[in-house]
Amino acid sequence: MKKVLLLITLLVTSYNLFAFTTQGVWRWRKDDGSETSATWHAPQNTAITISSMDSNIRLRIELYNNGSGGLLDNARFEDSIAGVPGWDTIKLAANTNAFQLAGTDAYVTDLEATTHQLNGQPIPPYSFAPGKVIVATDGLPAQTLATGQTTEFEWVIKPTANIQQNTTYYFRVDAANYLIGYAFPSLSTSSTLPVNVTAFNVSTNKNSVLLTWVTATEKNNSHFDVERSADGKIYSKVATVQGSGTTSLTHTYQAYDDKPLSGISYYRIKQVDVDGKYQISDVKTVNMALQNYVLKVFPNPSHGDVTFSLNNYNGKAVTATLNNASGKTVHQEIMQINGADSYKLNLQNKLAAGIYFLQLKGDGISENIKVVIQ
């Protein structure tokens, strides 16, 4: 699935061996909302400049079938530097690339369907077929557009430590035709990328939340503010960590939130320069309720019924599986968790005396507990 093409000035002619879709209009988007509500960085078909190293950014591209083909078959999303031959595939792993897929996102999920957001191919009238939001999938899902159909894919990406300052990058879908004179999606990096954050992680640590992040370089870095939100919209500062000024050495930072919220919390790092300018990291989430749940089976031993309690659990449902001592499943059901004091398995037959194992699996839970039937 390769094509021979010349791209130097981005006035493109291409020779295609397969009937691929045609790449159309595009637009850069901020990573601040859902597939329908996120705001735009700039007007359609307009390049942008970025100065942040550690924030997700989204690019939406139209693909359509004008009669020359409508095949999308594991197509790759690629970038290239202006004036440099060749394209690099943007993948989940950073490798040596300037950009990588975000992997996770606070606002959209991998492969969720897209709606019509771009002002693309109106004449002749095109019908819209939903595409996908790509957060962690390297290749496009298999899809074929009928003649006169258009779709939109949106990629959630972030810069890596390999990105270059004062450089223009171009982007394309490798299974697409490009009309002569087509202007590829592009962005430029500023001449100063003040702080290069190469990693940011959030994890639970007993009853606290531990945040760690790593910088590859820093320029005029005053400090970091650790910010937390209950809804992903309104943030407040929970800790401040001093920066390292200007340095080309790798530095590792950490901070604790000793009084985390119950349930899902959103965390981000606000890096502040000595002149007050700042940049915001991507957002990480943690669910303290899922980490602190308490599972009990009672009575245990019992005379045939299996009842359990699941306190401090914020998931919506669990799959309850009951296995005998030989590992054979004797009962399984999906149970809705609604804050009740107890949940009783809906057993169809009375259990024979013996030892069983109750397994609960769900959002943030994977537990096995022994049950004795007398």
Q: Which residue has the tokens 């006169």?
A: 148
* Last residue within a domain, chosen from 173, 189, 205: 189
| Closest alpha carbon to 349 in 333, 334, 322, 330 | 330
Which range among 189-193, 304-308, 358-362 shows the weakest confidence by mean pLDDT? Answer: 189-193
Helix (H) / strand (E) element for 334: namely strand 329-336
Higher pLDDT, residue 314 or 349? 349
- What is residue 343's DSSP assignment? E
Tell me what the mean pLDDT of segment 192-210 comes to: 77
Tell me what the mean pLDDT of segment 115-122 comes to: 93
Confidence of residue 19 (pLDDT cuts 50, 70, 90): low
- What is residue 288's DSSP assignment? H
Do 8 and 151 share a structural domain? yes
Do 271 and 251 share a structural domain? yes
- Strands (DSSP E) contained in 138-234 are 143-144, 149-159, 168-173, 176-177, 186-189, 195-205, 208-229
Confidence of residue 50 (pLDDT cuts 50, 70, 90): confident
Do 201 and 144 share a structural domain? no
Which range among 10-19, 39-48, 161-170, 347-356 shows the weakest confidence by mean pLDDT? Answer: 10-19
Q: Give the model's pLDDT for residue 306.
A: 93
Tell me what the mean pLDDT of segment 14-24 comes to: 64
Query: Which amino acid, 124?
Result: P
In this structure, the number of other CB atoms found within 10 A of the CB of residue 206 comes to 8
Q: Give the model's pLDDT for residue 215.
A: 85
Do 312 and 270 share a structural domain? no
Do 24 and 38 share a structural domain? yes
Q: Give the model's pLDDT for residue 12.
A: 37
Higher pLDDT, residue 19 or 22? 22
**What's the chain's length in residues?**
374
What's the domain count of the chain?
A: 3
| Closest alpha carbon to 212 in 237, 239, 193 | 239
- Read off the pLDDT of residues 272-309 as tens digits, 9 standing for 90 and up: 888 887 777 778 888 876 556 778 899 999 888 899 98
Q: Which residues of 66-97 are buried (b: 16+ CB within 10 A; e: fewer)?
A: beebbbbeebbbbbbeeeeeebbebbeebeeb
Do 153 and 12 share a structural domain? yes
What ranges in 61-176 are assigned the alpha helix state H?
Answer: none
Residue 254's Cβ-side half-sphere holds a number of Cα atoms within 13 Å equal to: 10
Q: Give the model's pLDDT for residue 341.
A: 83
Confidence of residue 119 (pLDDT cuts 50, 70, 90): very high
Do 367 and 242 share a structural domain? no
Which range among 91-105, 111-125, 166-180, 289-303 shows the weakest confidence by mean pLDDT? Answer: 289-303
Q: Which residues of 157-188 are buried (b: 16+ CB within 10 A; e: fewer)?
A: bbbbbebeeebbbbbbbbbbbbeeebbbbbbb
* Last residue within a domain, chosen from 249, 273, 289: 289
* Last residue within a domain, chosen from 136, 158, 189: 189
- Concatenated DSSP letters for 11-42? --EEE-SS-BEEEEEEEEEESSS-TTTPPBSS
Do 132 and 84 share a structural domain? yes
Token pair of 323, please?
């296995």
Whether the pLDDT of residue 159 is over 50: the answer is: yes
Whether the pLDDT of residue 6 is over 70: the answer is: no
Q: Are 171 and 87 in contact (CB under 8 A)?
A: no
Do 353 and 316 share a structural domain? yes
- CATH code, domain with 281: 2.60.40.10
Query: Which amino acid, 367?
Result: E
Domain interval for residue 318: 293-373
Do 214 and 79 share a structural domain? no
Question: What's the mean per-residue pLDDT of the chain?
Answer: 85
Q: Give the model's pLDDT for residue 3.
A: 37
Q: Give the model's pLDDT for residue 253.
A: 94
- Read off the pLDDT of residues 308-347 as tens digits, 9 standing for 90 and up: 988 877 678 889 999 988 888 999 999 998 878 889 999 9
Whether the pLDDT of residue 163 is over 60: the answer is: yes
Q: Are 309 and 369 in contact (CB under 8 A)?
A: no
Tell me what the mean pLDDT of segment 68-84 comes to: 84
Q: Give the model's pLDDT for residue 364.
A: 67
Do 343 and 233 share a structural domain? no
Q: Are 28 and 185 in contact (CB under 8 A)?
A: yes
Residue 68's Cβ-side half-sphere holds a number of Cα atoms within 13 Å equal to: 17
Whether the pLDDT of residue 218 is over 90: the answer is: no
Q: Are 369 and 358 in contact (CB under 8 A)?
A: yes
Q: Give the model's pLDDT for residue 156.
A: 97
Q: Give the model's pLDDT for residue 191.
A: 65
Do 239 and 98 share a structural domain? no
Tell me what the mean pLDDT of segment 86-103 comes to: 89
